Amino acid sequence: MKIHEYQARTLLENYDIPISKGEVIFDLKDAPAAFKRWANPYCVAKVQVQMGGRGKSGGVKRVQSPEEAKAFSEAFLGKPFSTYQSGGESKTVHSILITEDLAIQEEYYLGLVIDRSKNLPVILLSKEGGVEIEEVASKNPGAIQKIVFSPNLLSKGTDILSITEKVFPSKNIAKQISAITVKLARLFVEKDAAICEINPLSLVAGEKVMALDAKFVFDDNALFRHEDIKALKDPEEDDARERKAKEMGLSYVSMSGNIGCLVNGAGLAMATMDIIKLAGGEPANFLDVGGGATADQVKEGFKIILLDKRVEAILVNIFGGIMKCDVIAEGIIQASREIALQVPLIVRLEGTHVKEGRELLKKSGLKIISCLMIKEAADAAVREAKKFRNSHVHSCR
């Protein structure tokens, strides 16, 4: 789960990590007062959306007067915003962060993530901040210090200090960064984060180090024990269909094609999308109904797929393990009846209770194309989607 920059700032503050002074506004009429409160003599205004590359896309600006702060807020609040990193997706801006404008002398990078090959969290520290860390990693990997640590033994300040002292020649700076790193590691572990990134970690006047931007992502699996973090969720940041799917306990990702798919298991769902593509079609979505899905969840899955008006055929691919094929079959039948399914439906069942499942489909009297093998099913889905489109176009004329 991602949170906004202004929310991350509150967390940083709670962990005693220095940040610039400022406030978030949700209404443009509050912009001038906010400017006056924090100007020194200017302010920085930043749109609050959960995507990278805001600065390069005009979403971050030095504003020089209360009027300019208001004009900036007016230009963005309530309007869609996208960046070169958002992959064509846009999000509505609901808040603006207004902070003091600090003279930055140097920009560093501090990040905490999970090192999947070491099975432990890792601290990433670099003198080259303010740019994407991936860029640094590919151009100059030696510029990134990696410190793997056990969540049981929170990094001791002394260990970190010996490393920061090597990276930063100034003792004072090294000491501050070491302290910030230890605090951020504590936050990471105590709040079950997946990513805690301070970029830039800036050196400002008076040889002070502070966090001038932060990107935090939390482990969805651990939200059950962090009500405070859960409460920070901005539901508007998710795609409407993805949100609805999540409420039903399904995992859905919207794609741009015309063949909807409903699959049990994430790996098989991805592979089903891949084989649709190989068969000459384009998947409309990823939808994993999970291991222990019920007939109800299958029904909701169908509804979510059909919210996408580009869908011209639905391919159901189920290999039953925990999920029993008869349960799926029941869900398919209920859903088809209830929503009077118009698009062609191709179903491929295999696994636990497969006989019962296929039997139920057959007995239902519904027009379902039942396939034994996945290749056959993918080919049928591509063919039927084409047929559906042609007949549809024809009848419209």
Partner 1 sequence: MSILVDKNTRVLCQGITGKAGSFHAQKCLEYGTKLVAGVTPKKGGTFVGTIPVFDTVEEAAQKTGADTSMLYVPAPYALSAIQEAIDAGIKLLICITEGIPTLDMAKAVEYAKSKNTRLIGPNCPGIITSGECKIGIMPGYIHKKGRVGVISRSGTLTYEAVWQLTSVGLGQTTCIGIGGDPIIGTGFIDALELFEKDPETQAVLMIGEIGGGQEEEAASFVQRNMKKKVAAFIAGTTAPKGKRMGHAGAIVSGSQGTAQEKIAVLEEKGVQVVRNLSEIGSSVKQIL
Which listed residue (6, 68, 107, 109) is catalytic?
A: 109
* Contact of 285 with 305, CB cutoff 8 Å: yes
- Sites for partner 1 among residues 5-64 (CB under 8 A): none
Pick the binder of partner 1 from 18, 32, 111, 283 (CB under 8 A).
283
Using the contact rule CB under 8 A, the part of the chain among 53-61, 71-79, 297-305, 312-320 near partner 1 is 312-320
Spatial CA neighbour of 208 closest among 249, 171, 176: 176
Binding pattern to partner 1, positions 66-105, x when CB under 8 A? ---------------------x------------------
Binding pattern to partner 1, positions 123-142, x when CB under 8 A? ---------x-x--------
Active site annotation includes 197:
yes
- Say how far apart CA 167 and CA 127 lie, in whole Å: 7
Contacts by 277-280, CB closer than 8 A, 24 or more apart: 278/378, 279/375, 279/378, 279/379, 279/381, 279/382, 280/382
- Sites for partner 1 among residues 139-198 (CB under 8 A): 150-152, 189, 192, 194
Cβ 384 to partner 1 shortest distance, Å: 18
Q: CB-wise, 37 or 118, nearer to partner 1?
A: 118
Q: CB-wise, 45 or 194, nearer to partner 1?
A: 194
* Contact of 301 with 289, CB cutoff 8 Å: yes
Which listed residue (197, 312, 330, 384) is catalytic?
A: 197
Q: CB-wise, 198 or 203, nearer to partner 1?
A: 198
Pick the binder of partner 1 from 67, 321, 387, 392 (CB under 8 A).
321
- Say how far apart CA 148 and CA 125 lie, in whole Å: 11
- Say how far apart CA 162 and CA 177 lie, in whole Å: 11
The answer to whether residue 263 forms part of the interface with partner 1 (CB under 8 A) is yes
Q: CB-wise, 78 or 321, nearer to partner 1?
A: 321
- Sites for partner 1 among residues 193-252 (CB under 8 A): 194, 219-222, 224-225, 251
Spatial CA neighbour of 28 closest among 1, 56, 66: 66
Angle of CA points 291, 296, 302, to nearest 5°: 90
* Contact of 337 with 302, CB cutoff 8 Å: no
Cβ 262 to partner 1 shortest distance, Å: 13
Pick the binder of partner 1 from 32, 59, 121, 344 (CB under 8 A).
121
- Say how far apart CA 35 and CA 99 lie, in whole Å: 8
- Say how far apart CA 48 and CA 261 lie, in whole Å: 34
Q: Binders of partner 1: how many residues, by CB under 8 A?
A: 58
- Say how far apart CA 65 and CA 34 lie, in whole Å: 11
- For 257, the 3-state DSSP assignment is coil
Residue 6 CA to chain centroid, in angstroms? Answer: 17
- Sites for partner 1 among residues 335-394 (CB under 8 A): 350-352, 373-375, 378
Q: H helices within 168-224, ranges in order?
A: 171-190
Catalytic residue numbers, as ranges: 109, 197
User: In the complex, which residues of this chain contact partner 1 (CB under 8 A)?
Assistant: 87, 114, 116-117, 119-121, 132, 134, 150-152, 189, 192, 194, 219-222, 224-225, 251, 253, 255, 263-278, 283, 286, 288, 291-292, 318-323, 350-352, 373-375, 378
